[in-house]
Structure 1
Amino acid sequence: MAQSVWADGEAYEAYVGRWSRLVAGDFLRWLDLPSGLRWLDVGCGTGALTAAVLAEADPAHVTGVDPSAGFLGHARDRVGDPRASFEVGDARALPVTDDGVDVVVSGLALNFVPDPPRAAAEFVRVVRPGGVAAAYVWDYAGGMAMMRHFWSAAEALDPAAAKLDEGRRFPLCRPDALHALWTEAGLEAVAVQPVVVPTVFADFDAYWTPFLGGQGPAPTYVASLAETDRAALRDLISSCLPVEADGSVRLTARAWAVRGTAAR
C-alpha cells in the first residue's frame, strides 16, 4: 500500500488540522505558562499550535520546525507574526542550541517520528533547566471517533487495511506510553491529561470529503482504492455513522497530553 503523504497544507487542514486548533487551546490552558518565554514547536505542521501559542501564551518568540516544506509554507502564510519563525528540521536532530528555549511543545506529531525516545532526548537537550517539555497526540486507539468509524469499516471490507490503522500502529498514543517516554527521557513532575474536543460535521459529505485529500494514512488508503471499492467503503461508513435528525454527524476526538520539567 502507498506510504502516507504529508505535504498539502490545505488538505491537511480540512482533514484533521482544524480539530488540532481546538486541542491546542485546551493544551495551552493546561500548561498555564507565563508570558515572555521562548517556545519551540516541533512538528509544527500547518501552524495550528504555533498560532495558538502566539494568541494565548504571549511568547517572546516561537520557532516552528517541521520536515515538510509544504506544511511550513502554509504555516508562514497563516501565522504572519514577527514573533514567529519556521525552519525545516527533524525532531530527532533539532536545529536549536542546547538549553536554547524555555518551552518545547509538539502537537499531533510524536507518533509519526520513527524514533520517539530520540526525539524526547532532543526536547530535553534544547529546553533550559527548569523549562517545560510538553506534547499531545490523538488517541487513535479509542478516542478519535472519526478515525475509528473509518478503520472499522475499512477493515470489515479489507482485512489488509488493519496494518494502516493508526490505533494499531501507534502504541505511543496512550497515557501510560507517553508518561513512560517523558520519564525515561529524564523529565520531572511528569503529568498526563486527556483533552476532548467536539468534531461536528454538517452532514455525511462533510465527514467523507476530507478523506479524499490524500493527507495521512486513511486518505492515502482511500486514494489507493479502485472506484468501486472506494464507493463500497463510503456506503458502509455512511450506514454506520451516528446521524442526527438534522443530518449532522456529531463525534468527539480525544488527545492525550503530557508535560514534564527539565531537571535544574
Structure 2
Amino acid sequence: MVGRPRRCHDRRVGVFDVAADAYVRFMGRFSAPLSGPFAEVGLAGVDRSARVLDVGCGPGMLTCELVRRQGASRVSAIDPVESFVRATAASYPGVDVRGGTAEDLPYADDTFGATLAQLVVHFMRDPAAGVREMARVTVPGGRVSACVWDHAGGRGALSGFWRVVQRCDPEAEGEATLAGSTAGDLTRLFVDAGLREVDETLLEVRREFATFEEWWQPFTLGVGPAGAYVRGLNQIERVGLEGALREEHGDGPVTIQAGAWTATGVV
C-alpha cells in the first residue's frame, strides 16, 4: 500500500503553480484535442467578429483554437497562474492576456459574444460566483460554456490513475467530488447563474501512448491534484504506485478514452 500524503485536491492556485511546459506535457496532451470540439460547441451561432474570452486559459490550448476561429485581436484570456499568463502572451502576442481569477473578472459588463472555461470550473474557489461572472461579462444573447472531465463517472482523462491510487490508498480523495464532475452539475450551476437554454452533453477525446513510460512520466511533474499526490509520496511509495499502474495498463500502448461534461447557456 502506498502512503497517505496531504489531501490532493486543493482548489488553490498552488496545485497549478508550475512551469507552463510541465502543464502542457501533463494535461495539454488531453486538453489540446478537447479544445476543438469544445470551441465548436461554445462558439455555435457566435459571429466571427465577436470578442471571446478564455477563462482559466492555462498555457493557451483553448486560446489557440479561439485565435484560429476568431482572430487574435478578438480573443481575451485570463488565468491566475503567472507562468501560464506569460506563456500564453508569448505564444499569441495579439491576444489580450491578463492575470486574474474567474470570480473577479476584470472586464466590463456585456463585453464578449462568448465566454468559455475549459477544465476550470472544478478548480474555481467559488464555482457559482465564477459562472455568474462569466455571464456578467457576456452580452445578452451571447454564449457561456464550460467543460469538466467526467471524474465522477470514471471517464475522466485521469480516472484510470485515480482508480489505482484509491485501491492502494483508500483515503486518497481523487477528483470525483469536484464541481462539474457529475452529470447535471454544470447545468445546475448555469441555471442558478440565470443562464437560459442550457444544454449539457459529453465530449470525448482519445489519446494513445506508445509506452507506459510516455503516459506515466508527466504524472511526476507535480501538476494538478494528481501530480501533487505523486510528488507527496516517498520513493518507496512512488515505486509501488508505478508498479500498480503498470500492472493495470501494461507496458504499452496505453489508450485513454476520456469524456468531459460540457454545458452551454445563453445570457
* TM-score of the aligned structures, taking structure 2 as reference length: 0.90
1:251 aligned partner:
256
Identical amino acids, percent of aligned pairs: 31
For residues 91 and 145 of structure 1, the distance between their equivalents in structure 2, rounded to whole angstroms, comes to 23
Where structure 1 has 5 or more consecutive residues not aligned to the other structure, the ranges are none
1 CA distance for matches of 2:154 and 2:61? 20
Determine the C-alpha separation between the residues in 1 that align with 2:154 and 2:165.
18
Match of 2:194 among 167, 186, 190: 186
CA contact (8 A) 2:150 2:156 kept: no
Partner of 1:204: 212
133, 138, 146: which one aligns with 1:127 = 138
1:109-148 → structure 2 map (5 Å cutoff): 109-144=120-155, 146-148=157-159
Q: Which amino acid in structure 1 is aligned with residue 244 of structure 2?
A: L
Counterpart in 1 of 2:170? 159
SS at match of 2:136: helix
String of CA shifts for 1:216-262, please: whole Å, max 9, x gaps.
1111111111101100000001001166xxx3111211111111111
2:57 aligns to what? 44
CA distance, structure 1, for counterparts of residue 204 and residue 67 of structure 2: 22
- Residue 97 of structure 1 is matched in structure 2 by 108
1:227 aligns with 2:260: no
Matches within 5 A, 1:81-92: 82=94, 84-92=95-103
2:87 matched residue in structure 1: 74
The structure-2 alpha-carbon separation of the partners of 1:58 and 1:216, relative to structure 1 and needing over 3 Å to count, comes to same
Q: Deviations over 1:71-90 (max 9, x none)?
A: 1112122223x2x1111111
User: Is 1:237 paired with 2:237?
Assistant: no
CA spacing shift, 1:74–1:144, aligned 2, 3 Å:
farther
> Equivalent residue for 1:61?
74
Indicate the SS of the match to 2:204: strand
Letter in 2 for 1:210: P
What is the DSSP-based 3-state SS (H/G/I as helix, E as strand, rest coil) of the residue aligned with 1:166? coil
Opposite residue 176 of structure 1, the aligned amino acid is G
Q: Mean Cα displacement is larger for which, 138-147 or 200-209?
A: 138-147
How far apart are residue 60 of structure 1 and its match?
Answer: 4.9
Letter in 2 for 1:257: T
> How far does residue 59 in structure 1 lie from its aligned partner after superposition?
6.5
* 1:5 aligns with one of 12, 15, 28: 15
Could you tell me whether the CA contact under 8 Å between 1:66 and 1:89 is conserved in 2?
yes
- TM-aligned CA distance change 1:61 to 1:253, over 3 Å: same
Q: Is residue 217 of structure 2 the alignment partner of residue 217 of structure 1?
A: no
Are the equivalent residues in 1 in contact too, given 2:153–2:182 (CA < 8 A)?
Answer: no
Q: Deviations over 1:125-175 (max 9, x none)?
A: 1111111111111112235455222112212222222x2x011x3142223
- Residues 151 and 159 in structure 2, CA contact (< 8 A), matched pair in contact too: yes
**What SS does the corresponding residue of 2:264 show, helix, strand or coil?**
strand
8 Å CA contact 1:35, 1:60 repeated in 2: no
How many pairs does the alignment contain?
A: 254
Q: Relative to structure 1, is the Cα distance of residues 171 and 110 closer, same or farther in structure 2, using a 3 angstrom cutoff? A: closer
Answer yes or no: is the 8 Å Cα contact 1:39–1:59 preserved in 2. Answer: no
- Local SS of the residue matching 1:191: strand
Q: Is the 8 A contact 1:40 1:103 kept in 2?
A: yes
* Cα distance in 1, alignment partners of residues 150 and 16 from structure 2: 19
SS, match of residue 110 in structure 2: coil
